[in-house]
Structure 1
């Protein structure tokens, strides 16, 4: 700011008035100050200003598993839209499913004094955030619940969605329905497994744990899993993919498979309707997930002191063709 004042030939106080939009500055003087600001590339330190004033930083922290995953990209975009409406900016980071990375990001955001945080948790222990909640920083957990911490949580109805997927495939004649999902330590994978088992019981399907495979989805692991599921006289005639990453690897593997089972994915994705056959999915309204979480956070910022809430949003099945085929 002193450099701007020297270049414009005015006092530092005058520069401050121009930067803060105060009216008591002559138009020609303001023009000189703005020209000096442009020439020098000056940017106001909003954080320092807010600290001096004792006001909020105007930022939120958002931690997701992977900002490159379309599911979390849509979540990020929705949160950002809500935040913009409240005059806030969003700082985002990826945990890469690492509890240590999640903790590192959360504490970094706390150190930057964000006004609040939204977290898709990778870990199962969140007591380290208790001091932040006590000090008045609101935290909302999204898609998965926190461990050991009472905080607002917004989830999708994974159990009902997986049960609905089984019922849909059973209605098309399938009795050997496989469940191929991510690691069982992941909350959403475990919930969907619970729904799968409940759906099988309701449909009167035999419980066969050989049809359940849960591991980190990679191209090789899905090819190997698919080989085991489709070989032999008791092969699966339908596969439920536990998330969009599993679905992507599964579709690539099926391009080279001798048999093609019915496939029903969990989580929608771009171009799913353009595949041959178009991809049937259990879809989560990611926009509603992000919007509900962000609105809960801003309610806390406005003074809502009610007990922590748990909101479970419905999912819906989108039949497009890949699951609506009879057993081969």
Structure 2
């Protein structure tokens, strides 16, 4: 007797008195299935009200009705916003999105990307964690378009959709310098990450344009968590010559810096890249390099669908603009 709930292929096989493999062959319209068997399976399907799970089927056998999205970290609110925007565009085109996260592991990136291609997705949006994506050359040559998001890829010709990291950081630090700050700290994640490399370069360009040289003692990198940024900021505040301002190269560093600055009551101007939850209710004013994460996902998805539709032309790199906004405080 069948359990309650939605009928499965196992239920169909039991009702029709055939093997599960036979049911699968009938559902997938494979050739050379005995007509009598086919009739029995279809009768069981009608009797039980069985409906094929198209998404599960595409995950098993692949479908051009799906696209793949390999993120660097789907727990990060930035990538969650991007993923939601990609999904919205895809659903509007009658497509589904298979999402995965490399967790910044180059080997995982390669494995996930190739697995999605082997499932015959219609296209792939990829946030690179590895330094080389030439492993996708065969897939691209075989007609699977790839769009790099947030970071450029290497080793294959593909479109890239990026944030203007360099310009945003340059504008934030230039504003601090124009306000007269002599000692500006820079809090960075690992500088071998493209976004960090670009944001550090933008900050240094602002110093150079102002005829200034930053104090190396005030530049701290490798800060992966708010806790690490907080500890670094506390050390800087305890130094004999503490900074009067700080530029934080991502929202994790901004949160960590504020965790150090606010209890100290330190008079330190804060500018950070990336907005974050509750920034608007902070007890003091900070400056944020802001951008539209959803627009980044939308642009990447639209670029991919243009390529899927066969839009000709050379590959391009498109930059999403940033803007400086105020958060917290009373102004």
TM-score (norm 1): 0.82
Distance in 2 separating the partners of 1:3 and 1:66: 38
Deviation (angstroms), 1:210: 1.6
**2:71 is the counterpart of 1:59:** no
Partner of 1:314: 321
Structure 2 counterpart of 1:268, from 263, 268, 275: 275
Structure 1 counterpart of 2:220, from 181, 197, 213: 213
Partner of 2:289: 282
Q: 1:34 to 1:261 in 2, by over 3 A?
A: farther
Instruction: Confirm or deny: 8 A CA contact 2:226 2:254 kept in the other structure.
Output: no
Deviation (angstroms), 1:278: 4.5
Distance in 1 separating the partners of 2:243 and 2:269: 9
Number of residue pairs matched by the alignment = 302
Partner of 2:49: 37
Deviation (angstroms), 1:107: 1.4
Deviation (angstroms), 1:34: 5.6
Q: What is the RMSD of the two structures over their aligned residues, measured on CA atoms? A: 3.0
Structure 2 counterpart of 1:249, from 246, 250, 256: 256
Deviation (angstroms), 1:178: 1.2
Deviation (angstroms), 1:202: 1.8
Structure 2 counterpart of 1:239, from 218, 224, 246: 246
Instruction: Confirm or deny: 8 A CA contact 2:60 2:119 kept in the other structure.
Output: no
Q: 1:92 to 1:278 in 2, by over 3 A?
A: farther
Distance in 2 separating the partners of 1:315 and 1:232: 33
Partner of 2:203: 196
Distance in 2 separating the partners of 1:203 and 1:49: 56
Deviation (angstroms), 1:250: 2.2
Instruction: Confirm or deny: 8 A CA contact 2:230 2:258 kept in the other structure.
Output: no
Instruction: Confirm or deny: 8 A CA contact 1:219 1:253 kept in the other structure.
Output: no
Distance in 2 separating the partners of 1:119 and 1:187: 14
TM-score (norm 2): 0.81
For structure 2, the residue ranges without an aligned partner over 5 or more in a row are 1-8, 17-22, 28-41
Deviation (angstroms), 1:232: 3.4
Q: 1:209 to 1:219 in 2, by over 3 A?
A: same
